Structure formats: C-alpha cells, structure tokens
Chain A
Amino acid sequence: MIGGLFIYNHKGEVLISRVYRDDIGSQAADSAVFSSSGPFLGERLGANRRNAVDAFRVNVIHARQQVRSPVTNIARTSFFHVKRSNIWLAAVTKQNVNAAMVFEFLYKMCDVMAAYFGKISEENIKNNFVLIYELLDEILDFGYPQNSETGALKTFITQQGIKSQHQTKEEQSQITSQVTGQIGWRREGIKYRRNELFLDVLESVNLLMSPQGQVLSAHVSGRVVMKSYLSGMPECKFGMNDKIVIEKQGKGTADETSKSGKQSIAIDDCTFHQCVRLSKFDSERSISFIPPDGEFELMRYRTTKDIILPFRVIPLVREVGRTKLEVKVVIKSNFKPSLLAQKIEVRIPTPLNTSGVQVICMKGKAKYKASENAIVWKIKRMAGMKESQISAEIELLPTNDKKKWARPPISMNFEVPFAPSGLKVRYLKVFEPKLNYSDHDVIKWVRYIGRSGIYETRC
C-alpha cells in the first residue's frame, strides 16, 4: 500500500510530508542523491526518511528531460505523481500496490483539498498545512484510502477544530455512522425550504478529421452533473433516451418505437458516481440513487454513433515556393438555425520560421500570435447553418532545416446549447416517503451544454 505522501512546490521543496510506512526511504536513494541535493541538505532528521523525498526531487522534479512516465522506479521505490499547476503530489511505495487506486486517490486528494480551500497552490497549501495533515490522517490510514467524500469529511474535519467538543453524543455517532455507513456521501437531517435540483448535461465532442473531410474518429464524452438541494434522504430515479431502455419499453406499440427510436441514442459505455446502485443498473438498466447534498457528478458516458458535429472545418494549404504559404479555412455550422454557438475559436498552426502573416476574415477577429505559432481566429457568436471563411498569407524565412514542417492539425473551440450526442433527459423522479414533499413539489432545471473537446482537422 501507499508508504508515504509528499507535496512539493515547483522548486522541489517539501510542503507536506506524511510517511505511513517505515520501508519508505530506507534504501530509496544512494549517496549520489544526497550530494546532488546540495543546499537543502541542512540539519536533517533521520536521514532515512528524507531519502525518498530527495530521490523524487532529484530524479523527477529536477530532471532535465520531459517526464516520460507518471510512475518512476528509483532504487526499488516506486513514485506516483500528479501535477496541479506547479504543485507536485507524489505517493511513494515499495510494494506492488494497485496503481490505478493510487492515482485515483491522488486525484481525490486534490478534489478534497480544493473543496476545503480552493485552488491548489503553494500559498494555499502552506496556509492550510495543519488541515492537510488532519485530512491525510483521516483519508489514508496505513496507506489504505478511507472514506474521502468531502460531504462526510466536512462534518467532522473543520477548520475550527474546536467544534468537536461541543458535539452531543448523538451527533458524534451520527458522524461515525455516516463515515462508515452505506450512504457515506450524505448525512441525515438535511432540510430545505425549497426543494430544488439542477441537472447539467455537459458534453465534450471530440473529432479528428482528415484534410479531405473524412471522419477519422469522433466521440462524445459526456457528464451529467447534478446540484441537489433536497430535504431528507430522497430516493431519485434518472431516465434518459437510452436506446436499450427505450426499445425495451417500446415493445408494446410499434408506432411509438419508430417514433422514439429516432430520438434514442446508443450509449457505448457509462460510469456512475458511487451513490448509484450498480447492480440495479446492470439488471434493469435503471439509474437509482440517493444523491449527495450539493453538486456532484452523477454519471459519465461515451457515445460514438450518430454524433451531431456542430462544425466542419475545411482547410486548404498551398505552398507557394519555399518562402510563402497560402492558407484558406472555411468553417460551416451544422445545427438548427435558431440556435447560437458561442466562444468560437479556430487555431491555425503556422510554421516555426514564419516571418509575417496577413489575414483576412469575413467575421470575427483574427490575429497571428507568434509566441503560440498560430493564427487565432475568434468569433463571438454564430448561428446554425452558416458559413464563414478566413484566408491568410504566411511569409516564411528561408531555412536550411531539412526537416519538413510537421503541419499540426487545425483545432477548434466552441460552445453550443445542445448535446451533440443527442442525449435527452426524460425524467428525474424524487421520492422521499418520510417527509411531506412529493416529486411535483421539487423544482427541476435541465441545461445542455456541448463543448469542443479535442476537435481537430488535419491539413
């Protein structure tokens, strides 16, 4: 299991160090590590402990090359790391641990920290180091991850540690039963005057298209994010236009099947928040759960069939001699004319030896950004079934570099007010038998947002 957890700043200085197991550091690094760690080597406590800390700094943070793997083995000690802005989180072990679990835990750790004090930065970590130690003590015991739901943690790990003394016995046992219980993500006794819930269907549509306009790969990865402000322990049931469910139901009336069949979508795969009863989904394909309070991600899904591609990019690149390139890019919007796409940005890469660029575009603003080696074309809004065009002349410096320009793909960003996968929320029913509000009393909001993921066209 995880033997220790360290947090470093970008210089490689340790901000947080928690060692769970003795084996860490015993022989993790040789003397070379020490001599090279130079100025940090002041009056150190038991040198052993620090070895692993230093080994990671020297071999990964201070390494000259780009990181070649998120898992590094140095002297039989394995280091897992993730980076958030310029903060490094590293988990260390000497055993054959579950690697997927370690990374999931590191992400979770980031989420928990973000939930407590916002952005993960050196400043915030230093300001909250006592809290972080307290959290680490709770969510990782002897290297085994424990309940790490912020909802539960916030009930007893507070920034005002004094609170615990004023708890009654009932409160205490309520905390412990929640932390260890079947519904570890929600506490009892939540009350709202107005029962309300928000559903956001957030999709990112990914595309890789050949210069000829052939779809090389396209998929939508979507998330259903729910914000629930519901009283008590509500039992929820979520329904969408999942092809399998619709076909199962539609068996009775053939007419309806053909009608609704058009609107149903084939979901390649989906994963759920731990509140969803997976065995029930497996057997009946129904999504039922008791939601955590506040915002959480109910499900993620992936579709590859019948995707509505909101934009098409048609590139035309012509090399005029050795010092000039002519680029023409057309974008076409492909959705209902009544809808508006926003935040459209087309990024056209330019060669490294570009000396000057002249751009003409009919709509929006276009600029050559030398530091990014690209022409960035921004359009604020664009309705469906429209077309727009940009043309540019790129002057090149003559080089004797034999290597040809790699021609990175043209990428695009946008936001559209529909789900490119075609997913529709059919219902979200709420039952709370113990309290006197019914499904009808709950105010529900649904919103669809489609964003570009990696939306690229080769040129």
Chain B
Amino acid sequence: MTDSKYFTTTKKGEIFELKAELNSDKKEKKKEAVKKVIASMTVGKDVSALFPDVVNCMQTDNLELKKLVYLYLMNYAKSQPDMAIMAVNTFVKDCEDPNPLIRALAVRTMGCIRVDKITEYLCEPLRKCLKDEDPYVRKTAAVCVAKLHDINAQLVEDQGFLDTLKDLISDSNPMVVANAVAALSEIAESHPSSNLLDLNPQSINKLLTALNECTEWGQIFILDCLANYTPKDDREAQSICERVTPRLSHANSAVVLSAVKVLMKFMEMLSKDLDYYGTLLKKLAPPLVTLLSAEPELQYVALRNINLIVQKRPEILKHEMKVFFVKYNDPIYVKLEKLDIMIRLASQANIAQVLAELKEYATEVDVDFVRKAVRAIGRCAIKVEQSAERCVSTLLDLIQTKVNYVVQEAIVVIKDIFRKYPNKYESVIATLCENLDSLDEPEARAAMIWIVGEYAERIDNADELLESFLEGFHDESTQVQLQLLTGIVKLFLKKPTETQELVQQVLSLATQDSDNPDLRDRGYIYWRLLSTDPVAAKEVVLAEKPLISEETDLIEPTLLDELICYIGTLASVYHKPPSAFVEGGRGVVHKSLPPRTASSESAESPETAPAGAPPGEQPDVIPAQGDLLGDLLNLDLGPPVSGPPLTTSSVQMGAVDLLGGGLDSLMGDEPEGIGGTNFVAPPTAAVPASLGAPIGSGLSDLFDLTSGVGTLSGSYVAPKAVWLPAMKAKGLEISGTFTRQVGSISMDLQLTNKALQVMTDFAIQFNRNSFGLAPAAPLQVHAPLSPNQTVEISLPLSTVGSVMKMEPLNNLQVAVKNNIDVFYFSTLYPLHILFVEDGKMDRQMFLATWKDIPNENEAQFQIRDCPLNAEAVSSKLQSSNIFTVAKRNVEGQDMLYQSLKLTNGIWVLAELRIQPGNPSCMLSLKCRAPEVSQHVYQAYETILKN
C-alpha cells in the first residue's frame, strides 16, 4: 500500500471533496479521506474547517481510523474548543472499553487535547484508569496526570491525583513505576518547594528494585530521579552506588550516563580513603571510553560530559589519553571536543604523544580545528613545564609553514608562553618579527606588539617595528591601540633617549584624536605618570607581572558542581545551568553536590534544601556583569556633597570598583601596577569632590581614593586589622573592618594571597550571632587571586540572619572558604555599625522613656582624654547615628541628652556630661537591655577619640 499519494493532492476545492468523502457511507472511503486530511495537516495546510466531519468519524470500531481521528483532534481541538466537546463522550465510552489498548488510547489522547473545558470530563475516566487492572492502562494514565498538570495544576492537586501517582511508585509493574517517577519528577520541577517525590530510604529501595526490571527508558527516568536524592550518610551513598554500578554495562548510552551522574554525585559523600572509592573510580573509566564508540551525535554528548568529569575528577581518565586522539573522519564537532579533553589530560607522562598528535592536527583542513590545535600546543607548554621547549620549537615549525592563520594563532600562544616563562625563549623573537607583515587579526597584532614592547631592550629596531604599526593607528581595533600605547610607553621607559618623539606621538594620538574613553584614559594616566614621576612610572608600567596560571578555560567550580548534577542533560551539553536556556520556572532550581562529610541532619533532598549546601556552595557565584554598571549608577545618584560627610557607601564602593577594576583593565597586562596598596597617599577628608572632577585633576587624587576609603565620611570606620594571619590560613591573609553608610552595613575585607598557588573559589559564612548579622550577598572575588596579590572587597551585610546571643555580645565567628581549605576566625564588630538612622527620639518620648527605665539599668562610664566641646561631640556622634535630643547647661557643665536605636529595635538613651576644660566626660546610659551598655560605651569612646 502506498500512502504517498495523499501528499500530492493540491488541487483547488479539495476541502469540499474531502468533506463529501468524510461523510461517505463506505468505511474504506472514510478512512482514505481521513488519511488525506492528516497528510495535508502534516504538510502544513489548514484543514481545521473539516473539524465536525472528522470528529463524526470517531465513532468507529476500526482502530486505525480511530487513531487517525485522534491525531487530528490533538492538532485542532485547541482552535475549536466548542466542537472538541463533541468528542468527550466517545472518550469516556472508550475508557470503559474491554480492550485495554483502547482504554489506554483514549486516556492518552484525552490528555493531549489541551482544552480547559475538556479537562473536567477527563478527571473521572483518569481516576479509573489509574486504578485499572491492566498495567498498560496504568502506565499510560500515570503520564496523563503529568499532561493534566500541565494544563491545570490546581485541578490535579484538588482531585488528589498526586497521591494516586505517589502510590503507583509501589506498583508491581516496573514500567508503571518508571512512568510514575517520570511524571512526578516533572510535576515536582514546577513546585520546587513541595516535597512531592518524598524520597526516603524505603522509596529509594523500591526504585532500585524497579531499576533492574524496567525498560531502558524507564531506567533513565529512575536514575535521573535517584540523582536528586541526598543519602543521609556515606554508608547509604555507598549502598546505592553498589546497586547502580551494574547499569554502566547497559547498551543504551543514556542509561550509562545517567548512572554516571548518580555515581559522580554520591561519590562526593564518600571518603577518599575508602577502598570502595578507589574501586568506583576504576569502574567509571571503561564505560566512559566505550561511549566514544557510539554514533557521532552521542559521542558529542558524551565528550561534553567527559569534559566536565575530567575537570571534576581528573584521576578517572588520566590514563586514557589515547582514546581521545582525533580520527580523520570524525565529524568536526567531535574533533573539537576531543581536542579540548586532550589538553585537559595532558601531563608530563603523555606529553610527547600529545604533542606529536597536535602537530599532526595543525596540518588539517578545517580552520577552526587547526587554530584550536595550535592553541592547544601553547596550552601544553604552559601546563607542562618540561615540554615548553619542545612546544616552542613545534610552534616555530608551524610558523615556517607560512599558513596565515596558523602563524597568527602561533604568535598569540607564544605571547602566553612568554608570560609563563619570562626571559626564557626570547631567541625566537627574531623569527616572530619576520612575520610581522602577515598579521591581520587584531589578537595576533596585539600579541606581537606586546612581545615587542616587553622585550624592547633586546630588539634593536623595536622603535621601527612599533612605529610601523603607529601609521594606521586609527584603523586598528581598540585591543591593538591599547597594546600599542602600552608597548610604546614601555619602550620609552627602557630606551628613553631615542624614543621621545614616538611616545609623544602615541600619547597625543590616544588622548586627542581618539573617541575611545578607555584609550584616552589610559593615555592620560601614562602621560601624567611620565610627566610627574618617571620613577613611579617605571615601577608601574614595568612592574613584574604575575605569572599566568596553568589551567585555562576551566569552568568556574560552583558552576561545575552544578553541571555535574546535570550530567547527560542539555545543561551538560551547553555547559550552562538550565536557567540560562529554559524559559519560565521549570528546571531553574539550582542543584548542588551533597556535602562530603556524613551528617545526619541533612537528609532533605537537595531540591528542597539548597540552603543545606556546605559553605561556599552557593549556586549563584557566576559574577554578574551588571555589577560595575550598578555601581556606576549609584555613583550618579549619590550627590557629591561636601561639608557634613554624607557620601554613601555605594558611592565609595563605586569609586573604588571603578578605579580599581578600571585601572586593572586599563593597564591590561599590569594588574598589579596600580593596585592601590603601593601608593599610600595621606588621607584627606574632602575627597568625594574628585569624583566629579575631570580626569585632569591629577593622579594623586585617584590614588587617594583607592587608599583613602577608610577615612571617608559616614560613621566612623576603624582601620583594617588583621583578622586571620596568613600562617593560620595556609597563606591567605584576611584583614578587614566594618562600615556603616546610609543604612547599609558592610564588611570591608582585604584578601592577600601569601601562598605560592593561585586561590579561587572564595566563599564566606557567618555563625549565628547576637544581632543576626549575615552576608547579604555571596563573597565575590571576580578573578583568581594570584600569589602576592591583594584584593579589596566590600561585603554587604544584612541583619536578618538567625540570632544567637554571643559572648562577648559583639563577637562574630566567620568561616571563609577557598579552593584550598575552610578557615575560621572570630572578630569583634563595633556596635555603632548597628546604630540606625532613625534613632532620634522626640523629646517628650525621651523624658518618658528615661523615667520609665528602672534605675538599676543605668550604667555610668567615664570617657577620658576627650578634649572636645559639646558642639564637636554632638556632630561627631551624629555622623555615627547617635542623635542629640536636647542640650542643657547646668552649673557650667554641658549636658547632652542623646538617643540611639539598634538594628533590632533596642533603644539606648544617654546623658553625656561635658565640663569645659576637663578632658574627661561622664556618660550615663539607660537601656532596657542593660547588657548592651558596655558596648555602646565602647562605641562612644572609639567614635570620640578618632
């Protein structure tokens, strides 16, 4: 039989013909007509006009015809909701049919008709089918619940279908279990808070039993669901792993990958000393390698996942380098992925082989692939020091081929090699210079210029080379322009005598003839630097650069951990969290790996309790690009007021960010040059003015800003103290202080890396404390912290964390995590950061409250050495939110009556007695919570004495 003829009817008036045929008495003719309708529908023709006629054919005992009509219904019911009701009766009848296949067909199709009016009629038949004696009907009904939920979630809950679905998890038929799991998982995704799946050891056991018996697809549903469970301890994790490992031998790659996901996730809970841990690692490698003999599309999915696995646990595949060698006939997407993994696995042991391969690849046809291969050679050099020399000579060979894009790519990577091994391979510079003319890509040109500038003293004609670029300065891309500017300044600092003209030329090009603010700013900075203090300029521009780190292109660790939870899914293919490509609420729940230590508390599933994640596993650490922008906006909003220093903290932070970060990027390769710490300028009070001032106002102002944060305005800010010495924290030194600016409290931290390795992956957590201080945002360290680098961070705090009374009251225990370890320290915060802005009490109220508080709550302190008059005291205190309610003069003494309020609503009333001529003053404090008095007194003292 040939159905293709149905595709060819395109003549006019066919709708009428079809209509007639549909209403024909002959069964065969009817069926033919419906087939034609379906064919037209497939090709995209509108045959909705035939709705009533087609629905009339539904009442038939011919199963094939019935299926065709159903297909039509599913497509058009939504556009004809009123008519769709006509079909309901047949559905309800069919759900009672003695043939289970027909019952299932009816319930399956009904769920696909997405018309609200129909859903009501669907409930009763569905309820029956969920309890049908035939498993085929039950498994279809289970999926139908998910369909119904998609149309009308409330209805499903009201009708109690969710409970019935949960019961099906204990069904005797494995396929029913699998479909119920799939349906529940999907429904649970749209209700992240509800504990729908309610995974517990008993239900997990049921799932594991069903796993052995159901179809390959069912196994995938169950494994994907298992991956969402968090075992209560390492023993449970191990026993689940033991029962999941046999799946690694399944012929279906998706089953294998889902099993890998469960294992990778639960392994996190196992101790590395365990024998079983080692066994499991060994068991994981072979199936992963086997995935590479699957069809190319699956290979691609597998390789994207292996890329993640290799980053998370490099030990699994470290001996399997060879299987990632590229085959000549691999599709390009497989080739590129394999190359990526080869670089990740490259080590001293296999580097010779890898290099030989890469050299081979660099002669292939596909441009992208060749470029990546060349880049890979450079990465090998940086990763494996022993191979650097061989890599460089390989790159030189490639440059000799004169293939344009190979040469350019090679120069870009050689620049990186120079940055990793300074002063080692400069002998190749001559060869590089020969190819100067063939470079037409900005990245390659910029790299070449960087090399010339960096090694200007060893290149005799460096000035000529750079001058040649300068001719077409305005046609270059920004990247090249910036590099050229820096390069020439470097040259000038190294060979000042011959190059004065050149440097002036480039400075004027950059500052006067350019519209690009980055370029102009960098130009001005250099200009001023050179004209005011050439020695400083030398220190800045020619500063020793931090070595670049070995691993590049690594996925940010928290994202990596999240992606591990998504092995096998699209997220792992895109290397993006689902929220980046899934619309709406679905699947946006962040997943995180279970904590390593076996704790009995965290038995909740990770879906419901992302808060149960260990410190530093906050899912949201991808640095938001908007940050700087936000700060810039704040900058505009904050009025540049002089006089009573009211500058907001955001203004300050904005400024620091802008200049700190901005300078870094301006200086390109010299992030350390102007880090702020090198240039300690005397603190001046009225700095905010310089914010609005033109760039011309001088570099010293810029430096003031970066170093003088502490002295600016707002409530008093103590100088930074070392909280965590480097000795105690494996090289991480933390110093910091607390600030309060217009209602927001922040913790200003300075992190210094005094270790020899790069630090990444910072996170912070506070213990519960007396006033509920907690970080209001995750600790954001945007770039890895290289050795000897310091970074300044302002961490906004909130006071809505959980409260526990500490001893002393203002004690704060902090945990800081980085890629090396977790460190703990405690610090005392000054109480005045908790004084709120609306702490001024009205006079009457003050009097009444003062009287109301019993006298035993009054505490008296003496503040010595405070030679200020009442005015000065009052204004000084006011800036820290201690408000003077009234002032009296009694017997030559100034009496100040003051009030303040803490963040948790406690009022403190104060009477300050100042005797002119006497440096000491008396402070009486009254408060309903007398234990704070001592700390309030300390706050007074610190504010007044600074």
Contacts and interface: CB of A to CB of B under 8 A. Distances in A.
Interface of A: 1, 13-17, 19-23, 40, 42-46, 50, 53, 66-71, 73, 76, 78, 80-82, 93-101, 103-107, 123, 126-130, 133-134, 137, 141-142, 144-149, 156, 159, 161-162, 164-165, 167, 169, 172-173, 175-177, 179-182, 184, 208, 210, 216-217, 219, 221, 268-274, 277-279, 281-282, 297, 299-300, 302, 402-404, 406-409, 411, 454, 456, 458
B224 interface: yes
B536 interface: no
A22 B571 CA distance: 22
Interface centre among A50, A100, A106, A184 (most CB of B within 10 A): A100
A95 to B, nearest CB: 6
24 contacts: A1-B182, A70-B296, A71-B300, A96-B587, A98-B254, A99-B568, A99-B570, A101-B258, A105-B217, A123-B4, A129-B42, A130-B38, A144-B217, A146-B175, A147-B215, A161-B65, A173-B134, A176-B136, A177-B135, A180-B176, A274-B215, A300-B293, A406-B364, A456-B328
Contacts of A403: 401, 403
Contact of A101 (B76, B568, B572, B583): B568
Contact of A127 (B3, B217, B254): B3
A159 B1 contact: yes
A128 B3 contact: yes
B216 A274 contact: yes
B742 interface: no
Contact of A145 (B6, B38, B217): B217
B843 interface: no
B363 A407 contact: yes
Contacts of A98: 220, 224, 254, 257-258, 568-569
Given A100-B301, A144-B217, A404-B363, A271 B64 contact: no
User: Which 10 pairs between the two chains have the least Cβ-Cβ distance?
Assistant: A161-B64, A269-B286, A176-B136, A126-B4, A100-B254, A282-B246, A101-B254, A278-B246, A96-B578, A70-B297
Contacts of B295: 82, 103, 107
Given A98-B258, A104-B252, A126-B7, A45 B44 contact: yes
Contact of B568 (A19, A100, A274): A100
Interface stretch (B98-106, B412-420, B709-717): B98-106
A216 B322 contact: yes
A44 B46 contact: yes
A68 B333 contact: yes
Contact of B41 (A21, A45, A277): A45
B300 A161 contact: no
A406 B258 CA distance: 40
B403 A402 contact: yes
B906 interface: no
A324 B183 CA distance: 68
B194 to A, nearest CB: 19
B245 interface: yes
Contacts of B169: none
B301 A99 contact: yes
A96 B189 CA distance: 11
Contacts of B174: 182
A129 to B, nearest CB: 5
A219 B63 CA distance: 50
A165 to B, nearest CB: 6
Nearest to B139: A180
Interface stretch (B140-148, B617-625, B664-672): B140-148
B926 interface: no
Residue of A98, A175, A179, A402 with highest tally of chain B CB at under 10 A: A98
B592 interface: no
Nearest to B44: A44
Given A101-B254, A141-B108, A282 B325 contact: no
Contacts of B64: 130, 134, 161-162
Contacts of B135: 176-177, 180-181
Contact of A142 (B147, B247, B287): B147
Contacts of B48: 45
Contact of A96 (B42, B331, B403, B571): B571
Contact of A268 (B38, B68, B289): B289
Given A96-B587, A99-B572, A82 B297 contact: yes
Contacts of B76: 45
Contacts of B483: none
Interface string B847-879: 000000000000000000000000000000000
A73 B42 CA distance: 24
B245 A282 contact: yes
Most B CB contacts (10 A, CB to CB) among A1, A81, A269, A454 go to: A269
Given A177-B136, A409-B328, 9 more contacts: A23-B583, A45-B41, A68-B333, A73-B574, A96-B570, A126-B4, A134-B64, A146-B175, A172-B99
B67 interface: yes
B569 A127 contact: no
B290 A180 contact: no
Contacts of B389: none
A402 B296 CA distance: 33
Given A98-B254, A162-B64, A141 B140 contact: yes
B39 interface: yes
Contacts of A76: 581-583
Contacts of B344: none
Contact of B186 (A1, A78, A94, A172): A1
A44 B365 CA distance: 43
Contact of B249 (A126, A177, A282): A282
Interface string B197-231: 00000000000000011111100110010000000
Contacts of B220: 98, 101
Given A99-B569, A100-B253, A402-B402, A141 B143 contact: yes
Given A78-B581, A100-B254, A279-B246, A45 B46 contact: yes
B1 A78 contact: no
A33 B215 CA distance: 39
B619 to A, nearest CB: 15
Contacts of B258: 98, 100-101
Interface string B41-59: 1111111100000000000
Contacts of A156: 101
Given A98-B220, A176-B136, A180-B173, A162 B62 contact: yes
Contacts of A149: 215
A71 B570 contact: yes
A309 B249 CA distance: 27
A175 B353 CA distance: 56
Contact of B2 (A127, A162, A273): A127
Given A94-B582, A101-B217, A17 B42 contact: yes
Contacts of B217: 101, 105, 144-148
Contacts of B572: 99
Contacts of B1: 127, 159
Nearest to B330: A454
Contact of B328 (A17, A66, A454): A454
B574 A221 contact: no
Contacts of B2: 127
A104 B298 contact: yes
Contacts of A96: 566, 569-571, 578, 581-582, 587
A162 B64 CA distance: 7
A159 B47 CA distance: 25
Nearest to B574: A73
Contact of B67 (A73, A99, A134): A134
B61 A95 contact: no
A314 B731 CA distance: 58
B38 A133 contact: yes
A103 B363 contact: no
Contacts of A300: 251, 290, 293
Contacts of A169: 98
Contacts of B587: 95-96
Nearest to B47: A45
